Amino acid sequence: MSDRLQAPRGTFDVLPEQAALRHGVEQSARRILESAGYRRIETPTFEATELFKRTVGESTDIVQKEMYTFEDGGGRSLTLRPEVTAPIVRSYLEHGMHRLAQPVKLWYLSSCFRYERAQAGRYRQFWQVGAEAIGSDDPSVDAELILLLRELLDEMGVRGAALRLSSLGTAASRARYRDLLQAHLRAHEERLAADVRERIELNPLRAFDSDDAGTREVMQSAPRLIDHLDADDREHFAAVRQLLDGEGIAYDLDGTLVRGLDYYTRTVFEFTSDALGAQSGVGGGGRYDGLAQELGGAPTPGIGWATGVERILLAAEERPVPEPVVDLYVALAEPAARARAFRIAAEARRAGVPAQLELAGRSMKGQMKHAARISARYVAIVSQEGIELKDMESGEHEPVASESAVIATVLRGRHVQ
């Protein structure tokens, strides 16, 4: 016998019970975001590789080692999307969405792909719910988006969710700060981890992310970007904080918060959950006021967040999986009743009654047991002579005159529940 194949490492099948829970996340996201005017968008699963190189950043882990990149038959380099913000900004520019009322508010639920070390809560294909508001730099947009993510996490029952907040300033203030940080790192070079040392030139900010003990010590006395913002950035950040404070949204100011993507400017934030172990990030995002320009567009401010569907479910309290509703189970008293039984089930569904038909040739006893297992409300026992309808709650059963009488009774029974 040959070996059975399995799903690739870091991927998983969404089995029906999980599909029901995931549907719950989708419904909550839709309700919360659409009530704030966000409209759903879907971009292609793959994009030109260049899109991510230019935006996420050449020096990031994502671009350096995590992308699923391939060449298509025409020799183009394509990449399975590792994130969805850059594709959405590309779409905004491609479709001239600057002509719409600003900001353009979009949400998505899309799969993402990253070649990461697979472990609990970290997969190679995962799903993100995200929201993006493009075309406004008003601090209210920042605060409102954070509020919406908080609401989604709360509604999903994510345990121990805490918010970290910071501001990275504009590109100009960041460039000035970078020089300061590089000087600090160079002054303590011998105590840094090798990978941090290698990135002093390319991406010094990532040193804040290092797990290495020596590096962490050096970083404790490092200058903080938050202390080097210019006046406009400080004012913007203060306004965001004021709005959050007014809503009673708790957060920790964390000057070490650097996110794994290069395009962020000004406000950045991340929610963690203490129910998540090592992969504690449950959702995060920030402003990307320079991203549209990176993609050849006019300067256009934007901000967004993404949260992982799997992480939400891992961090959420256990919830009962909703059972599918079966109002009518159509049982066969004899094989010759097949056509009639088939018709009853089909007609019932057309009338809006969830109905299932016996499909496995079970004995009558087996059929009744199965009907009980799937919690059918009624069972129609069909023979050539007639139909008997059993109410599974009361146990009563009686003959019914016709197919339509079966459906009428079930519909009535449903309404009086």
CA dihedral 394, 399, 404, 407 (to 10 degrees): 10
Question: Which bin fits 6, alpha (ψ -120 to 50), beta or left (φ > 0)?
Answer: beta
Residue in 86, 96, 98, 101 with CA at minimum distance from that of residue 48:
86
Name the phi and psi angles at 219, rounded to 5: -75, -20
Q: How far is the CB of 395 from ligand AMP (least distance, A)?
A: 48
Q: How far is the CB of 67 from ligand AMP (least distance, A)?
A: 12
Residue in 255, 173, 196 with CA at minimum distance from that of residue 222:
255
Q: How far is the CB of 398 from ligand AMP (least distance, A)?
A: 54
The residue assigned the tokens 């009518």 is 328
Q: How far is the CB of 369 from ligand AMP (least distance, A)?
A: 40
* Peptide bond connecting 299 to the previous residue in cis, omega within 30 degrees of 0: no
Q: How far is the CB of 69 from ligand AMP (least distance, A)?
A: 17
Continuous H helices in 188-287: 194-198, 213-220, 231-246
Name the phi and psi angles at 131, rounded to 5: -135, 140
Q: 26 or 230, CB closer to ligand AMP?
A: 26
Q: 66 or 327, CB closer to ligand AMP?
A: 66
Q: Which residue is nearest to ligand AMP (CB)?
A: 308
Q: 86 or 410, CB closer to ligand AMP?
A: 86
Q: How far is the CB of 114 from ligand AMP (least distance, A)?
A: 5
Query: Which residues in this chain contact ligand AMP in the complex, by CB under 6 A?
Result: 83, 114, 116, 122-123, 126, 128, 259-260, 281-284, 306-308, 310-311
Q: 260 or 301, CB closer to ligand AMP?
A: 260
Q: 169 or 283, CB closer to ligand AMP?
A: 283
Q: 92 or 305, CB closer to ligand AMP?
A: 305
Report how far residue 335's alpha carbon sits from residue 327's, in angstroms, rounded to the nearest whole number: 23
Report how far residue 87's alpha carbon sits from residue 347's, in angstroms, rounded to the nearest whole number: 45
